[in-house]
Amino acid sequence: MRYHIQGEPMPVVICDLQPNETMICESGAMSWMTTNMQMETSGGGLGKMFGRMFSGESMFQNRYTAKNGEGQIAFASSFPGSIRAYEITPSTPIICQKKAFLASTEGVELSVHFQKKLGGGFFGGEGFIMQKISGQGTVFLEIDGSTVEYELDKGDQMLIDTGYLAMMDATVTMEVQQIKGVKNVLFGGEGLFNTLVTGPGRVVIQTMPMNNFAALIASMIPSKS
C-alpha cells in the first residue's frame, strides 16, 4: 500500500492498493474509490463491537479490497485538522483519543482503553475512555487542528489540558487530575481537570480539540428571546 496525505486543514489520505490488498475503516469514512474496490461490512464479534462502541466508534467496520488489479481509495477527515500515519507492530501499540481512528491496513486492531483510576476518569471527560490500536500495519488518525509531538524519557511528565491529548505510545501512563484551589477552579477558565502523562514514550498533542471548537461556535450563536 502506498499513500499520500493532502489538503490540510481539511485533509484526505489517498491510498493506492496492490491487487487483493485490504483497507479497514469506520462506517461512512470512505470518500471516493475506484470501481474495482469491493466492500464488505462486518462487526468482528460482540466483544470487539462493544469495545468500538465504548471508544466512540461505530460498532461495524467496512473492509475494502482491490479486486482484479490495483485499486485506489480515499478517506477524508471529518473535521478541520490533520491526518497522521503511524506504523503499528505487536510491540508498539498506541493509545489515542475517542473517534481518532480513520482507517488502517488489514491486521490493525481497534479496542477500548480505560483510564485506570476510575474516579478521576468519570469526571475527567476525554481522559476516561480512549482507543487502543494494536496489531500489525499502518493506521491513519484524525487529529483536531495541528499536532505538536514530544518524546518523553522515563519519568518525564507533562500536564495537558483535558481534550488536548490526541495520541500516546502505550508505554506512556496517564492520570486525570483535578485542578487545585477554589479560585483556580471558579475563575481560572481552564476547566476542572488536567491530564498528567508520564514517560517513557511519544506524546502527540492537538491544537484545536473538537469539543472546544464546538463550544466556541455555540457561544457565538444568539439565544432566542
19-28, 36-45, 184-193: which has the minimum mean pLDDT?
184-193
Whether residue 160 has pLDDT greater than 50: yes
Report pLDDT digits (tens) over 167-221. 999 999 988 877 665 444 444 445 567 889 999 999 999 999 887 777 777 778 8
- For residue 69, CA distances in Å to 21, 34, 52, 74, 133 come to 10, 11, 32, 17, 29
Cα 62–Cα 63–Cα 68 angle in degrees, nearest 5: 140
Q: Are 168 and 203 in contact (CB under 8 A)?
A: yes
- Angle 177-52-195 (CA atoms, 0-180°, nearest 5)? 10
Three cell numbers written together for 204: 502527540
Angle at 134 between CA 131 and CA 135, to 5 degrees: 155
Instruction: Check if the beta carbon of residue 148 is closer than 8 Å to that of residue 92.
Output: no
Report cis status (omega within 30 of 0) of the bond before 200.
Answer: yes
Distance (Å, whole) CA 164 – CA 144: 9
Largest CA distance in the chain: 66
Q: What is the DSSP string of 136-152?
A: SEEEEEEEES-EEEEEE
**pLDDT given for residue 195 in this prediction:** 87
User: 2-219 maps to which CATH number?
Assistant: 3.60.160.10
**pLDDT 10s digits, 120-139:** 444 444 446 889 999 999 99
| pLDDT tens-digit readout, 44-101 | 544 555 555 554 556 678 999 999 999 999 999 988 999 999 999 999 999 999 889 9
Residue extents of the structural domains in the chain: 2-219
Is the alpha carbon torsion for 53, 48, 42, 12 positive or negative? positive
